[in-house]
A = this chain, B = another copy of it.
């Protein structure tokens, strides 16, 4: 049988990562381009087209002409209608209402195209090639700008009615809590997502007396400009044993454990795979999430709770997207 290859596109708000992937999950060629999300849908689609064309060229240059390109898989932010391939209102994409990505590219390249929510795509990748390989059921959490999630049940992604399942970030932990972008109060994303957590850290730092502030690792990491403070700054400082950063990250991890406890009680899936930039912060973070999760779930689940790191890092998007069409 001919080798089967697929093109996996990881569409992000800043970059497009694209890879030519084989059935074993090996990335044969990859490239990265600006997504031009702030320009227009047309500009974004044009960039994806360029990526696909370049990867098709790679097939030639890698002398893989004997292989079949079986399709194009796309992981996209926003709401993705799995059945139609329509991507709706991805955050930070200008002028983008609803675009049928599947139709666009299946016509242009005469290949099967499948589009899926980016967190689901990463969950699928971890399930097929990453730290979920041996796990039939797990909750996948992406801790980054927001809190994304995916649910793997019986080895497959669970999509729900219209592909909207897995929104772990919008589990509320406090019905009187902080108002989330989504309109609900107390969503876990509102507490620990990058865009919120870094703001809260900044506020705490700004309250410190100048002489103590200037000695903070986080202050040094952003060269004294607190407006450049990101979640990765806090995470890096915690890694360097900065006490305040460590405290903040541990608190955030404990809150994540609380939100996950509701999900585990509901689903009886006590294995959590944690991805996203923060997951690389070190084992203390995973341990803090796990400790909090165990402390809050129903007794029969307590000993079963396990929080482990995702292993595919920024390749998860490409690999998972490719696997949508690799079958």
CB within 8 Å for A159 and B268 given contacts A79-B300, A175-B255:
yes
Chain A 284-302 interface 0/1 with B at a Cβ cutoff of 8 Å (1 = within): 0000000000011111110
B161 touches A137 (CB 8 A): yes
Looking at A25-33, A58-66, A258-266, the stretch in contact with chain B turns out to be A258-266
* Chain B residues with CB below 8 A from A273, complex form: none
List A residues at the B interface (Cβ < 8 Å): 79, 137, 149, 151, 158-168, 170-176, 182-186, 255, 258, 261-263, 265-270, 295-301, 304
What distance in Å separates the Cβ of A296 from its nearest Cβ neighbour in chain B? 5
A300 to B164, CA, bound (A): 8
* Chain B residues with CB below 8 A from A173, complex form: 172, 174-175
CB within 8 Å for A266 and B266 given contacts A173-B175, A175-B258, A261-B184:
yes
What distance in Å separates the Cβ of A137 from its nearest Cβ neighbour in chain B? 6
Chain B, residue nearest A171 (CB): B262
Extra contacts besides A159-B268, A162-B300, A164-B298 (4): CB < 8 Å: A173-B174, A175-B255, A175-B258, A184-B261
A301 to B149, CA, bound (A): 17
* Chain B residues with CB below 8 A from A270, complex form: 161
Number of copies: 2
Q: 8 nearest interchain CB pairs?
A: A160-B268, A165-B268, A164-B268, A170-B265, A167-B265, A171-B262, A173-B175, A175-B258
A165 to B182, CA, bound (A): 27
* Chain B residues with CB below 8 A from A298, complex form: 164, 167, 170, 182, 184
B265 touches A171 (CB 8 A): yes
A104 to B37, CA, bound (A): 64
A164 touches B301 (CB 8 A): yes
- Picked from B176, B258, B268, the residue with its CB within 8 Å of the CB of A163 is B268
A266 touches B168 (CB 8 A): yes
B167 touches A266 (CB 8 A): yes
A184 touches B266 (CB 8 A): no
Chain B, residue nearest A263 (CB): B266
* Chain B residues with CB below 8 A from A296, complex form: 172, 183-185
